[in-house]
Amino acid sequence: MRTRTGGYPVGFRQGGGSWRRDTEAVIEWMAANGLEVIDLGRDADGAAQPYLEAGLQIGSADLAEWNGMISADAGQREEAVERNAAYIRACAALGMKRYFVVMLPQNPDLPRGENFHYMVESFGQLVPVLEEHDAHIVVEGWPGPGALCCTPEGYRGLFREIPSMAMGINYDPSHLIRQGIDPIRFLHEFDGRVFHVHGKDTELIPENLYEYGHEQAPTFAKRYAFGAMAWRYTIPGHGVMRWPVAFQILKELGYAGCVSIELEDASFNGSEETEKLGILQGARFLEGC
């Protein structure tokens, strides 16, 4: 499967249900359904080989150590840099180029500026290894506890302090949409910094926005799984993202990567049958975009 605009190969992110850990069965299912790409976790240096031998692409590999890179402890930061550098070298030997991370600090209660300083110091030290292997960090903007680089302000600050093109973006519009950030304008601003794309969407629920707002937890109602009250994550095509527009912009900007479905959708998560259906439904939609 490939997108109609840009011809980007489509696959999925491995995490989630236990069926996704049966490597042989996953490879067989991917081949039967035309999926060309898989994103692996923090064990990609040991897990990638069977997929590569089957002719599949590794879209991204999770960076081995996250929180230690944004620790107040200088020794922990140094250890995290060394571990990640060794991991990148091992993955690069297998041809992997993109390393996925969310900028989650070890202590989210510290001032954001302080954690930002630790992040810049650590990732700045990792840049020479990335550049040596023509590789990229791809930062996803999930706004988790204390997370940095979730908004244009955060990404802008990161690239100002570490201008190397080794630092890039995992473009996941679902996180931008839930925060009220225009995902199309975001693409235009960060020209050339997108090195990986997640196929995930967000549904907005205006009636619930009126009823519950964004700031306060509900007293009686139950929030959506993979969402809150006024929004929820969905597969591509079930939310508000303008995928054909995004792919046209990515094409014009010279994006040469892939699109990986990240399945976080209450309508599909939960069983092997429905998760496979959700991945394929999302992929088929993107194939027509």
Helix axis angle for 152-161 and 112-132, nearest 10°, is 60
- The pTM for the full model equals 0.96
Give the amino acid at 84: N
Domain boundaries along the sequence of the chain: 10-287
Whole-angstrom Cα distance, residue 123 to residue 115?
A: 12
Q: Which of 187, 278, 201 is nearest to 241 (CA)?
A: 201
Average of pLDDT values for 79-87? 98
In angstroms, what CA-CA distances link 77 with 10, 66, 68, 123, 137?
35, 10, 5, 10, 17
Contact 263, 269 (CB under 8 A): yes
- Would you identify the CATH topology of the domain 10-287? TIM Barrel (3.20.20)
- The pLDDT tens digits of the residues spanning 256-268 come to 999 999 999 999 9
- The pLDDT tens digits of the residues spanning 158-196 come to 999 999 999 999 999 999 999 999 999 999 999 899 999
Residue 132 tokens, joined: 């040596």
pLDDT band at 5 (very low <50, low <70, confident <90, very high): very high
- The pLDDT tens digits of the residues spanning 114-163 come to 999 999 999 999 999 999 999 999 999 999 999 999 999 999 999 999 99
